[in-house]
Chains A and B, each alone.
Chain A
Amino acid sequence: MNLYATQLECLLVILGLGTLLTDAFRPGGDRRKLGYLLATLVTITLLYSFTLAPTADTFFHGMYRLDSFALFFKRLFLLATAFVLLMGAEFVERFETGVAEFYALVLLAATGMLVIASVNDFILLFVALELVTITFYILTAFLRRQVQSLEAGTKYLILGALSSGFTVYGIAYIFGTTGTTNFDKLATLLSAGGSGSAFLLGMLLVLTGLGFKVASVPFQIWAPDVYQGAPTPVTAFLAVGSKAAGFALLLRVMLAGLLPVSAVWMPVLLVLAAATLGYGNLGAISQRNIKRLLGYSSIGHAGYMLMGLAAGNALGSQAVLFYLGQYAFTNLCAFLVIIAVGREEIADYAGLGKRSPILGAALFLAMASLAGIPPLSGFFGKFQLFAAVIEAAQTNWHYYILAGIGAGAVVVSLYYYFNVGRAIYIEEAKDTTPIPVSLPVRAGLYVCMLAMIGLGIYQQPLVEAATLAAGIFGLK
């Protein structure tokens, strides 16, 4: 039974170990083809995951769940992994050695994320979180001869270790005051009796660790440096996979385990959301490097999603899931273009629309969707988040301030996203050579663009999936 519940994780581990073995048995093989193969296999796993049915049972002594929420995130992570492997295959020439190791690490990080989707206990939370984070330290520093990549890896390692320290310290406090690490038991205990300040301290320390993961203020400071320095496929994985993992944990911990004390954490998240919105969007204004820009933008988007969580209603949590789903497609699209172009300064994107119409269109659509322009999916995502905040404002007027800050952030973000758009279509190219786009990348771009436009026009499939997944929390 336990094995059945973890079959997707098992599949990924087998794939990852198998990939490592290829280095031993076929050292000179075509690594690019291997990447395409792995991406295809992960896609098949993704399709297979739709045959699994959610269940209310718990596994591994209540530590692990396979509910609709878990399945929603598992599918999201599998999607991101398939795209990251495709990007890795495109990036093959830029790695000096150990391409197979790179794929294997991506698969192992993905395994950690899949476990995170199902976490129902603080112990498993920590283990899964560390599996993801430690793999990411290595992935970030994977371009071993590049100072930037090494520096990013080191920074991520030190700050990550610091945040892990806070998290485990917080878990110890929670266990010490309540005597349990299980989310369900915790919720029962908390709703029965009050919570002392030692417990609150523990909760805030755990929040710190998760805030670090999603790059929320004041734990966001690593994001721009690491996004810029890491190899581009890893940056994409950070932006899509790691961030979604952070939100999966935040939602699960806050809404399943700590809902009875929401009166304490909701105001904290409200303030953090506002600060994160401000920091991410203001910081992005003066950026010249597109990966760094997307780093700041990812902070800003963490702010939008925290808005939904801080609203603490059913619409809000559902909106966060919808947002993460469409955000994955949008960001993957942008990073695919960055990898295909192979340059990082925004000035290098001048005239991209002429050099390669498909890359230009894809990046432009991604930027417009990030900015939230209808009819793209980003618009509807933001619409739901704002609707959730306005709904919350009916009982607590502070939320109007949050909505106002969010609206301001959207306006500011138009400026820097359309700076990229201007480069693509209005500025003249210095270098007018056409950019070749490989068939798999082209296919990936079509999928992303179709999703951005399709989910923008007809949102119901994803809305229904998100509503089902968020339904497990039983919010009103």
Chain B
Amino acid sequence: MNPVWIILFAPLCAAAIITLLTRKAQMLSALISCAAIITGFVLTLQLFAQQGNWMSPEPLQWLVVDNIVRIEFGATIDRLSILMLLVVTGVGSAIHIYSLGYMKGDPGFSRFFACLSLFTFSMLGIVLSNNFIQIFIFWELVGVSSYLLIGFWFEKHSAAEAGKKAFLTNRIGDFGMMLGVLLLWTNTGTFNFAELPAKIAAIPSCTLGLIGALIFCGAVGKSAQFPLHVWLPDAMEGPTPVSALIHAATMVAAGVYMLCRVSFVILPSETALTLIAWIGGITALMAATIAIAQNDIKRILAYSTLSQLGYMVMAVGLTGITPAMFHLTTHAFFKALLFLGAGSVIMAMHHEQDIWKMGGLWKKTPITFATFMIGTLALAGVWPLSGFYSKDEILLLALEHNKALFIMGAFTAFLTAYYMGRECFVVFFGKPRDKHAYDHAHESPWVMTLPLVFLAVLSIIGGWGSYIPHFLKPDEHAAHHDAWKGFALLLVPAAGFLLSAKIYLKADASDAPVKAALGRAWTWVENKYYFDELYAWIIRYVQGTIAMLCELFDRWVLQRLGIGGLAGTTSVAGKTLRLLQTGNIQSYAFLFGLGVTVIIYYVVVR
């Protein structure tokens, strides 16, 4: 059997075994789940080592109806999918192990690992899919499993609501994606990634642009791009390992990955590319501005994720598939690291998430502090950490193609350093704001710090030698930008850090000076530009009104005239038919004979 199938199905088996058999034995369940993903990681490393000698396994003919529909269940093995497999299984393994410590003692321990495995299976399915239907099915499975994980503590009202919000918001994007896929199918007659590129040329450019935009809708939902970004910050209600796995390293990256996988649909259409680039740029900047005014340690990271995803999407829009994937990979390393670090801080502070109740933690939690700082520097794009290389590629790409987007991107980079500096200085430096919690704070056990160190190492070396872009495009020489441009860009995060240090690196730091300086603008960013309120308003008034009209139409027109009439006639017909069924054998025989006579009359006599 091809090892790819083991990589894909091991987590599914783990989820099934845990749910059906070992739910009561908590530690065993967790180990099964970890074993499944680590097996996947090892097998992926093996695949990776075979450099270039990859064979996609023979696809399974899955849904075949004559010549009308032909859908395969296959696995694509190429450079793109192997890189993504490495990210998902590698970062996933670290997060699984971390969860052993973080979730300890939770009554739903086994359920958590079952959901985690189900999610891993769905995510790997997206990575490996070789056609649009398969990717869509796994896309939805990812939606379902993330719903289960966000709402993991479903007894908490806000968590249940957040799960629902994430699922429904994603559904909006997915609907667009489905339309795009179907439109593509009606124009080409195939769903297969391998067959599509040859048939794309025949599609009129206007239709192709529409298809590209519709498929992009799916990525907008899953990768939380403006204007469907609202679910991601709320999704922080889930357990922290979930935030790290799903909302930093994998699920949200799925949108970007999908765009790269189907780039043959997007690249030929100028319209779609422009749309994608601008949506990405807007998301990057908007999320970064919101992040400067958040107080929840995880929410800051959530907005930062939005902002970084914006970079990746922008890169795709600027035809930079390789830089997008490069940044996706390095971002998975350092953002997972930051989330896990935040989890470690939260544990140390006894489930306190407000940064204004922390302070001075660097002495208490040295490993967490050190790794968190590495993550921060990598995220801000400081040389020689991984974020520097990948972010530079995107910014320089923007500089080449679109100056406006470059300025937005560079300003976002400045804000990134600024808000991350704020978070670090407030959490780890200054004086303890909550004396009691500070006294009880402690470093996390080794199952949690070990993954932190592993991810920290990756965050440092991930960008060195531009190995990842070389791996993706071995024959193509990576565009050599002038080194001085890259290093000149270092001034941007430096300025961000300096500014935040000036404001927050002191014992009695507070937001007051920034608030005073920004005035009204602060209120806007603090309230996330009122998107949630706007959507609530739309739902209440616009959707509510439409729903009311529909309800009236349904009640008075459809039910009275349509269904009512129809149901009336059907039930009358039903009752009439019952009259036929008298139970009287003579009348049965008569009807039988009558039937024969009528048929014979029509066929033979006429």
Contacts and interface: CB of A to CB of B under 8 A. Distances in A.
B63 interface: yes
Contact of A224 (B62, B581, B593, B596): B581
A204 interface: yes
Interface string B571-590: 10111011011010100110
B66 A387 contact: yes
A285 B574 contact: yes
A211 B199 CA distance: 48
Interface in B554-606: 570-571, 573-575, 577-578, 580-581, 583, 585, 588-589, 591-596, 598-600, 602-604
Nearest to A217: B595
A77 B362 CA distance: 75
A197 B603 CA distance: 9
A463 B64 contact: yes
Most buried by A among B63, B577, B594: B577
B65 interface: yes
Interface in A274-290: 279, 282-286
A155 interface: yes
B68 interface: yes
B61 interface: yes
B65 A286 contact: no
A200 to B, nearest CB: 5
A377 to B, nearest CB: 13
A146 interface: no
A159 B60 CA distance: 49
A298 interface: no
A232 interface: no
Contacts of A391: 66, 68
Q: How large is the interface on A (under 10, 10 to 19, 20 to 34, 35 or more residues)?
A: 35 or more
Contacts of B596: 166, 204-205, 208, 218
Nearest to A203: B603
Interface string A198-238: 00110011011000100001110110110000000000000
A222 B62 contact: no
Interface in B33-64: 60-64
B577 A279 contact: yes
Given A200-B603, A201-B600, A282-B573, A315 B65 contact: yes
A208 B604 CA distance: 14
A268 interface: yes
A159 B581 contact: no
A218 B588 contact: no
Contacts of A162: 589, 592-593
A200 B66 contact: no
B575 to A, nearest CB: 6
Contact of B604 (A166, A200, A284): A200
Interface in B295-329: none
B573 A155 contact: no
Contact of A222 (B64, B575, B588): B588
Interface string B329-368: 0000000000000000000000000000000000000000
B585 A154 contact: yes
B591 A221 contact: yes
Given A200-B604, A315-B66, A283 B574 contact: yes
B315 to A, nearest CB: 37
B599 A268 contact: yes
Interface in A255-295: 264, 268, 279, 282-286
A60 interface: no
A14 interface: no
Contact of B583 (A219, A225, A314): A225
Q: Interface majority SS on B: helix, strand, loop or mixed?
A: helix
A264 B70 CA distance: 34
B571 A286 contact: yes
Nearest to A292: B581
Contacts of B61: 460
A303 to B, nearest CB: 14
A400 B599 CA distance: 22
B595 A282 contact: no
A118 interface: no
Contact of B570 (A208, A285, A387): A285
Contact of B62 (A155, A225, A412, A458): A458
A218 B598 contact: yes
A219 B577 contact: no
A463 B64 CA distance: 9
Nearest to A272: B599
Contacts of A158: 585, 589
Interface string A145-168: 000000100110011001100100
A225 B603 CA distance: 30
Given A218-B595, A219-B595, A285-B571, A460 B62 contact: yes
B577 A221 contact: no
Contact of A282 (B577, B581, B602): B577
A384 B65 contact: yes
Interface in A369-397: 383-384, 387, 391
A151 B588 CA distance: 13
Contact of A221 (B575, B580, B600): B580
Contacts of B598: 218
A155 B585 CA distance: 6
Interface in A105-122: none
Nearest to A211: B595
B121 to A, nearest CB: 15
A268 B603 contact: yes
A151 to B, nearest CB: 8
A222 B591 CA distance: 11
B575 A286 contact: yes
A283 B578 contact: yes
Given A279-B577, A286-B578, A218 B600 contact: no
Nearest to A375: B137
A294 to B, nearest CB: 15
A196 to B, nearest CB: 10
Contacts of A208: 595-596, 599
A45 interface: no
Contacts of A154: 585
A387 B592 contact: no
A459 interface: yes
A218 B66 CA distance: 32
Contacts of B577: 279, 282-283
Contacts of A286: 571, 574-575, 578
A212 B64 CA distance: 33
Given A155-B585, A283-B578, A219 B65 contact: no
B594 to A, nearest CB: 7
Contacts of B589: 158-159, 162
A159 B583 CA distance: 12
A382 to B, nearest CB: 12
B585 A204 contact: no
B581 A225 contact: yes
Contact of A460 (B64, B66, B580, B593): B64
Given A154-B585, A218-B592, A458-B62, 18 more contacts: A158-B585, A159-B588, A162-B589, A197-B604, A217-B595, A218-B591, A218-B599, A221-B592, A224-B581, A225-B581, A264-B603, A282-B574, A283-B577, A283-B578, A283-B581, A285-B574, A384-B65, A412-B570
Interface of B: 60-66, 68, 570-571, 573-575, 577-578, 580-581, 583, 585, 588-589, 591-596, 598-600, 602-604
Counting from the closest, the 7 A-B pairs by CB-CB distance are A218-B595, A285-B574, A283-B577, A286-B574, A315-B66, A282-B573, A197-B604
Interface of A: 151, 154-155, 158-159, 162-163, 166, 197, 200-201, 204-205, 207-208, 212, 217-219, 221-222, 224-225, 264, 268, 279, 282-286, 314-315, 383-384, 387, 391, 412, 458-460, 463
24 contacts: A159-B589, A162-B593, A200-B604, A204-B600, A208-B599, A217-B595, A218-B596, A218-B598, A218-B599, A221-B592, A222-B588, A225-B583, A268-B599, A279-B577, A282-B570, A282-B573, A286-B571, A286-B575, A286-B578, A314-B66, A315-B65, A315-B66, A391-B68, A460-B62
